[in-house]
Chain A
Amino acid sequence: MTGSNTNEFLRPPSEQEFDPVCRESSHYNPLDTFRLPSGQDRHYKQQYGDMYFLRLAKLKPAVEEIAVEAWEGFSIAGEHARRVERVLDVRQGELCWVAGTIYMDMPLKPNILDDLTKENYTLAPPPRPTYQDPSHPELTQIMLEDESGRLRLTGSLLRSAQLCTGAIIAVLGTENSDGDFEVIDIKVPDLARQPRRWERDGVDAQKEPSKGKIAFVSGLGITGTSSDTLALELLTDYLLGYTGSTSAGSSGDAPPDASAITRLVIAGNSVGASMTVDANADNGAAKKKSGPKKYGYDASAYNASPITRLDSFLAEILPTIPITLMAGQSDPANFSLPQQGIHRAMFPQARAYCAPPPAGEEKQEPGWFDSVTNPWEGDVEGWRLWGSSGQNVDDALRYLNLADDQGNVGDGDGDMEARIRVMEAMLRWRCGVPTAPDTIWSYPFQTHDPFVMQSCPHIFFAGNQPRFKTAVIEGDSPLRLNGADTEMTGTDDNNTSGPHVRLLSIPKFNETGELVLVDTETLEVEVVKFGAFAGQQEKQ
C-alpha cells in the first residue's frame, strides 16, 4: 500500500485518466439565534440589567428543579433545608437554599464606575491575563444576586468551584454571623435538552450514513504579507483535493481524503493584526506622504491586503467546499457580542457564493458561503453546533484562579484543561457567554438573552485557543418512566442515553497549522497539520 501510493506521483507522466472526484453534499441549517435586528431596530440605549433578569428568569426554574431533586429532604442535625425564594429572605443561622446569579467582584476586573470616577476612558481596555490578584486572593468576592439584592458567598467550597459572573446557580448553606452565606453545596442548571440528530431537518433528511467530515479552523490570522501564508497555501491545496493521494485505499494513517469534508467552519480571527494600526507603524514612513484627509479619514493608514488575501483564499476554495465564516475579535465586524457576520461587501470575489441579499421578510436559503455571527448556532449534517470565536472562553478564564500551583498563568496542559473545563461549565450553566455583558461587550438585549442555551449542542467549539484539545461530556440520562435497568442498555442510543457533547478547542491556525476534522457519524476528531519542515536552511 505504502509503496504504490508513494510511487503514484514519483514516476513519469502516464496516460492515466482521472475521474472527477465529488465532494459529499452538506446538510446545513443555520439558526438565527444571534442575528441582531438590522438598521434602525438596533438600539444601544437600553440598560444591561435586563439581560441578567432575563437570564435568571429563564434559568431559575431549571436550576431549581435540579436543586429540589437533590436537596429536598436534605437535613443536617435534624434541620431541613428550606427553599428560599429571594436572596434577601435568607435568615441567619437557617439551613436553606436559594438560586441566583453569580456576581464576582475582583480587584483587577474592569469597572465602569471606576473609569467614570477617574474620568479615565479607554475604548477597549487592554486584555488582562486574569482578573484575580494573586497576591490578594481575599479581595475576590463572590456574590449571589437576584432582583432583590445580593448575598456574599463564602466557604471552602468556593475555592475549588469554578464560577464566573453571570452564571445561574443554586446554593445550599446557612448565613453566618458575618452576614455571609456559608456554601455547602452548589447546583447548576446542567445540560439543556439535546435535540435528536436531524431534528430540525425532518425525517426525510436522514439518509444512509455518509462518510462525511466537518472541518474547523480558526485564527487564520492573514496579514497579507507572504510570510504567513505558506501553511494557508497547503491548506488550500488540501481542501481543493490536490494534496496526497486521490486514489482509493488511503488507510487510516494518511490525512483523510479531502473529498469527505462537507463543510469548512472558520471560527473567527481570519484576519490577522489590526489593519489600520499596522499600516501606520510599519510602512507609514516608507509610503509617500499621503494626501490630505478626505472626510476625516486617512486612506493611507488603511491596509487592505489582509482582507483581500482572505477574500482570494475564500474565493479559491469556495468552488469546491461550502464555508461558514464566523466573525472574530480581530475581524472587520462589530466588536461587541454577538458579532454580526463580516459583511459580504468585504469579499468582492467570494460574495458571488453568498446568499442573495435578503428581500423582504421571507426566510431564505443559506448561501454556499455563509458569513455568520459569533457566537453561532446551527445544524450541520443534522448535528447541532454551538460555537464561538473564543472570546467567551478567554474571558471566563480570567475569573478563574489558574495561577495556583506554579504561579504562572496560561501555559501548559493545565491551561488547556481549564479551557475545556470552562467550556463544559458553560454548557452546564446553559449559558454560552456568561460574562457578557459584564466583561465582554455585548448588545443590550431587552426581550431575550440569546446566550442562554435553549438546547444542548452536539458539538460545542471555541476558536482561537492556544492548542487543540477535545473531550466528550455526558449529561445525566433523562428520566425514564419505567425505570428498568434493562432499558438503559437498550439499542437505540439516541433516545435513551443522556446527551453527549463533543467539546472542541480549536487552535489558531497561524500558530499551529492545524485543521480539525469531526466525523459526521461518530463525532470522532482528527487533526491535520500543515507546515514546512524545518530543515537545514532554517537551522542555519
Chain B
Amino acid sequence: MAVADYKTYLAENVLNERRTVTYRSLGRALRVHVTLAKQMLYDFHHSENNKKPNSVNATYIVTGMQKAPDSTSATNGAGDSFDSNGIPQSSPYISSSMPNQDTAEDDIAISSVLLVREEDLEDAKSTFQYIASIHVYSLQAAVLQDLNVLTDVNVEMMANHAQEDPLEHGKTWGMIQGKNVRRRTGGRPPVPAPTPAPATSTTTIQAKRPIKMEEKPEPKAETEEEAAKPKPEQKSKPEPAVKRDDTPASSKPTEKTAPPKQKGSIFSSFAKAKPKQKKEESATPTTPAVESATPSGAEDAVFLGDASDEDEEQELFPDSGKSEPSGTRETRKEREEKLKKMMEDDGMFYFYYEDEEMPDAAPSPEEESKPIDEPPPKQPEPKEEVTVRGGRRRGRRQIMKKKTVKDDEGYLVTVEEPSWESFSEDEPAPPPKKKPTVSAAGKAKPAAKPGQGNIMSFFSKK
C-alpha cells in the first residue's frame, strides 16, 4: 500500500514543486480511497506546520447547514411565506388551490458545501448552524489568491488519469457505484485513437470495452491525420477492408456512416491539388507499391463504412469523379499512363495535362465530376523559365490569363488560358508556389499543410 509514501509524495509536490494537491489528485496518484487521502492531507498539513509554521496552506470543505438569517438563504425562497406577503391573489380562478404552500415552503432544507481557505475557516464555521463535516480539500505552499486555480488542478488530474476506466477504479477511489451503468458495447468497430499525449488507452481496456476508445481527442486527431496524408489513406483503403471484414458493417453508428461520401470529396479537393502532382512528379513506381507501403490502419476504420469495390477503385484516382462512367475511367487510366511516360523525360509535363495537346478522349472528366461544394480547382502553378545572364535575372513565365469572349450563341464565356509573359529582375517574382522538381518528392507533404491547417482549425479547441 502506498500509504507510507504519501509524505514523500506530498513533500515533493507541495513543498518542492510548489504544486497544489487536492484530495482527489492525491487519491488518484496513490490509488487510495478519498477518505484516506483527506486524512493524509490533514496529517501532512498538521505535521509540516508543526515543524515550520505556515509552510503549508490548506483549503477546507465545510458541509452542513448554514444559519438561516443569512441574507442569501433568505432570498432563496425559504424565507417568506407564499400567501401572506401582501401580493394580491391575482387570479380568481386559481384561488381555489395552493393550500399547502406555507408548509411546503417552510421545510425546505438548504444545506451547503463550502470551500474555505484555511485562514477563513473560523469565520466560515461561525456562519454554520450545524457542521456535518470538515475535511481538507487541498494543500499548497502559499495562500491561494484565486480559488479557481483548484479547478485547473482537477483538469490536469483528469487528463493525467484519463486512461483509467472509472468503472473499474471507481471503487478504489471511493466513488459511488452505479449499479446499472450501461455503456455502449459493440456497434462500432474499435477506433484506436491516434493518441495525442494523455489519451493512451491500455490495450486491456480496449479489448474489453471498445467503446471506451472514443476518447475526446479522437475526432480531432482523426481529421488531423486525414488531412495530413490524404493520399496514402485512400490508396491503402482496399487493404484494411479485407482485414476488417469481420466487423459487421451494418453495426456502424449512423453518425459515422453518413460522412464517407463527403469525406471523399474533401479529399479529392486536396488530392486534386497536391498529391497528384506528387505522384506524377516523383514518379513513384506504381500505385500498388504505395498501397502496401503505407499501412495506416488506424484511421482507415473511419472510412470503411460502406467501402464498396466501386469506392476503392475510385479512390485510386481520387481526382476522378464519383459519377464518372467506367469508360471514361479507363481512358483516364490510359491518360495517366501516358502522363507518367512523359513525366520521365519532361519535367514540365503537368502543364500539358490541362493543355490541348493531350489525347483528350474524355472531355475533361474533372469538370463533369466536380462536386459543388469544392473550392475552385487549383490552376497549375505558373511556371517560369529563368535565365540568369550577366547577373540579371530575365525570363518568361507562364501565367493564366482570363479571357472573356462571346461564343456562338452570344453568351459571354470566360476562359482561363495559359500564356507566356516575360519578366525581368525589377519585377518582383511571383511568390514561388512551387519548389523545383528536385525536391518534389519530399515536398508533397509540406505542401498539403494549408489544407491540413484548415481542417484542423475546424475541429480545434481554443
| Chain A residues at the B interface, C-beta cutoff of 8 Å | 2, 5-6, 8-14, 16, 18, 20-26, 157, 160-162, 185-188, 224, 226-227, 229-230, 232-234, 237-246, 250-256, 258-259, 279, 283, 287, 290-292, 294-295, 297, 299-300, 302-305, 308, 311-312, 316, 318-322, 343-345, 348-349, 351-357, 367-368, 413-414, 416-417, 420-421, 424-425, 428, 467-476, 500, 505, 507, 512, 514, 524-533, 535-537
A490 to chain B, nearest CB (A): 19
B173 surroundings in chain A (CB, below 8 A): 242
Docked-complex contact A468 and B76, CB < 8 angstroms: yes
Q: How many angstroms from the CA of A5 to the CA of B132 in the assembled complex? A: 6
Q: For residue A257, which residue of chain B has the nearest CB?
A: B176
| Residue pair B133, A9 in contact (C-beta under 8 Å) | yes
A500 and B98 alpha carbons, distance in the complex (Å): 10
Whole-angstrom CA separation of A530 from B111 in the bound complex: 9
| CA distance in complex: A21, B253 (Å) | 34
Residues of A within 8 A of B131 (CB): 2, 6
Contact yes or no, A255 B97, CB < 8 A: no
Min CB–CB distance B230 → chain A (angstroms):
15
Q: Which of A244, A253, A417 contacts B82 (CB 8 A)?
A: A417
| A residues less than 8 Å from B455 (CB atoms) | 294
B92/A13 in contact, CB under 8 A? no
Q: Give the complex CA separation of A349 and B201 in angstroms.
A: 13
* In-complex Cβ contact of B462 among A23, A304, A531 (8 A): A304
Chain B, 139-153, contact with A by CB distance < 8 Å: what is the 0/1 string? 000011111111110
Alpha-carbon distance A535/B123, docked complex (angstroms): 8
- Please measure, in the bound complex, the distance between the C-alpha atom of A75 and the C-alpha atom of B157, giving whole angstroms: 75
B133 touches A536 (CB 8 A): no
A388→B131 CA distance, assembly (Å): 35
B182 within 8 A of A: yes
List residues 81-119 of chain B with CB under 8 A from any CB of chain A: 82, 85, 87-88, 90-94, 96-101, 104-105, 107-117, 119
B263 contacts the other chain (CB 8 A): no
The answer on a CB contact under 8 Å between B76 and A512 is yes
Given contacts A23-B177, A470-B77, contact A291 B91 (CB under 8 A): no
Q: Are B91 and A469 in contact (CB under 8 A)?
A: no
Q: Residue of A at shortest CB range from B108?
A: A525
A531–B108 CB distance below 8 A = no
Knowing A291-B450, A348-B216, say if A255 contacts B175 (CB, 8 Å). no
Contacts of A21 in B (CB 8 A): 174, 176-177
Q: How far is the CA of A355 from the CA of B183 in the complex (A)?
A: 8
Contact yes or no, B76 A421, CB < 8 A: no
Not counting A244-B63, A305-B461, A352-B211, a sample of 19 additional A-B residue pairs whose C-beta atoms are within 8 angstroms of each other reads A9-B39, A9-B134, A25-B179, A160-B91, A224-B462, A226-B152, A232-B151, A243-B63, A245-B63, A253-B65, A253-B130, A299-B457, A304-B461, A353-B181, A367-B182, A420-B82, A467-B77, A473-B100, A533-B114
Answer whether residue B195 sits at the interface, using C-beta atoms and an 8 A cutoff: no
Secondary structure at chain B's binding surface: helix, strand, loop or mixed?
mixed
Chain B residues close to A by CB (< 8 Å): 3, 6, 23-24, 33-36, 38-40, 42-43, 46, 61-66, 75-77, 80, 82, 85, 87-88, 90-94, 96-101, 104-105, 107-117, 119-120, 123-124, 127, 129-136, 143-152, 154-155, 158, 166-167, 170-171, 173-184, 187, 211-212, 214-216, 218-219, 253-255, 373, 375, 450, 453-455, 457-462
Task: Give Cα A535 to B117, complex, Å.
Answer: 7
Q: Are A160 and B177 in contact (CB under 8 A)?
A: no
| Residues of chain A contacted by B93 (CB below 8 angstroms) | 161, 185-188, 428
Judging by beta carbons under 8 Å apart, are B154 and A8 in contact? no
Which residues on the A side are within 8 Å of B460 (C-beta)? 299, 304
CB-CB < 8 A to B100: which residues of A? Answer: 471-474, 500
CB-defined contacts of B182 to chain A, threshold 8 Å = 353, 367-368
Could you write out 29 A-B pairs with CB less than 8 Å apart? A6-B134, A8-B35, A9-B39, A14-B39, A16-B35, A18-B174, A21-B174, A160-B91, A229-B148, A230-B147, A233-B151, A241-B174, A253-B109, A254-B130, A319-B167, A349-B216, A353-B182, A417-B85, A421-B94, A467-B76, A471-B100, A471-B101, A472-B101, A514-B76, A524-B107, A526-B110, A535-B117, A535-B119, A537-B120
